Amino acid sequence: MTIRGRFMGSRAIGAAGLTALLASAAAYAAQPQDILPSPAPTTAPAPTKPAAPAPTAAPTIPLQVPIDEPVVSWTKANAQALLGVIGAIDAEGLIPADYQPEKLRAAIAAGDQVALDAQASKSFAWLVEDLRDGRTRMAAREQWFVVDTDVDTNPTSAVMERALASDDVPGTVAALMPTAPDYAALKALLAVTPVTDKAKRALIRINMDRWRWLPRELGQYYLLTNVPEFQLRLTVKNEIIRSYRTIVGKVGRTATPQLATVVKGVVFNPTWTVPQSIVVGEGLGAQLLGNPARAAREGYKVTKAKNGVITVVQQPGPGNSLGFMKLDMPNDHAIFIHDTPSRGLFNQPYRALSHGCVRTERATELGMTMAILGAGKTTDELVEIAGSGQYTLVPMTKTFPVYIMYFTMASDINGKMGTFKDLYSRDAKVLASFAAPRKPWDGIRKTSEKVIKLDNPL
């Protein structure tokens, strides 16, 4: 297959479309970059301190943070404004009763400053927690391994201080909302869904909440794959510039988890180090040692160490299990986005077929586009690299986030709102959490579920 044919994959885009896509990528890459969310407040900041030196290594992010619910002095006017925000919070998919509006109204009417300060501070803190971090507590988020750093950016005490200093409670609260266009689309759908359609409204609510589980700003450039939709989006400034059909993990032990990481590089013509679960567990190592002709025919390099450990590495080529491209995106699960030699599977409507990794159609096209956007490479350079047949890692020089998500109601790649099959039955716990009274926020922001290393792409 030619390099250009490899770009087109299983769904041809045509020479003109490919040229336009890569030219568009080059134009985006030339723009000033502000790619990852910067840790800045969402409203007017307090006086800044001198910036600390950049760390030489990524800091450890605590998986549980202290509960931050201060009690401060409230004016009657600001408390009334908060009461109005709570009364309208159903529009954001939240439940007004969760934030004790009747108790707040009573405290305002009583004229007791101590009681007013306590209740307004509590109601505001609970509202901030749910808007910033999501109403669904971690126990109801299955296989959720994303750490949301919004609490670091906007601790409750700082948000409350800004709201009262500016006398703008509604504006401060509104600044916590997710900026992803799909959140606004779900909000618009909720507004026109009859209150009698409880099932649909509940589904909208939980998928709005899933956006709150993520950082408020996703970045200038990012990849987002919605597992139940079997689609991947390459997104620039919240605009989808390309979409790709995907194959995701089978239902059960190898279901694809939800995670967020950063693409460190694009690997063209990857090798595949076969997991020991296959080398030993399935006997592949011994089979290939005993049959050198088969090893050569299937592109495997087999070595046996002095201690008896057999290592099997599949070399680059059309039969490589990772295809012609893999995204280097370090994570505890050994989950990658990569090509596949079995491209005919992308034509199937049901594509939960992998051992957890996300396979993508037109992978070389995706890798080239990302290398232009994130590494400043030219099309000519990349054509040469991809066509060399040699393993080549193109390191990213710009930070490029990737989000592997799970939305059962979302805008599809054509912008049409729709529902997707609850592939892994992950809706039930979230729906139950919304049907139950609000649980206090516990500061936990990553699941304690066991990490299953899904290292077999076959």
Q: What does the pLDDT look like over 24-47, one tens digit per residue?
A: 666 656 554 443 443 344 443 333
Map residue 258 onto helix, strand or coil. strand
Distances (CA, A) of 77 to 43, 81, 156: 20, 6, 20
Map residue 368 onto helix, strand or coil. helix
Q: Write the DSSP symbol of residue 183.
A: H
What pLDDT is stored for residue 31 in this prediction? 54
List the chain residues with pLDDT less than 70: 1-60, 454-458
What pLDDT is stored for residue 455 in this prediction? 53
Fold of 3-32+219-271+316-405: L,D-transpeptidase catalytic domain-like (2.40.440)
Q: Are 82 and 96 in contact (CB under 8 A)?
A: no
Tell me the per-residue pLDDT of 406-416, one tens digit each, with 9 for 90 and over.
999 999 988 99
Q: Write the DSSP symbol of residue 142.
A: T
How many other CB atoms are found less than 10 A from the CB of residue 285?
22
What pLDDT is stored for residue 46 in this prediction? 39
Q: Give the chain's largest Cα–Cα span.
A: 88
Q: Are 120 and 77 in contact (CB under 8 A)?
A: no
Name the H helices within 67-112.
76-87, 101-110
Look-up of token digits 């770009």:
7
Q: Closest by alpha carbon to 336, among 314, 317, 355?
A: 355
What pLDDT is stored for residue 447 in this prediction? 86
pTM, rounded to two decimals: 0.87
Domain parsing of the chain, residue ranges? 3-32+219-271+316-405, 76-217+426-435
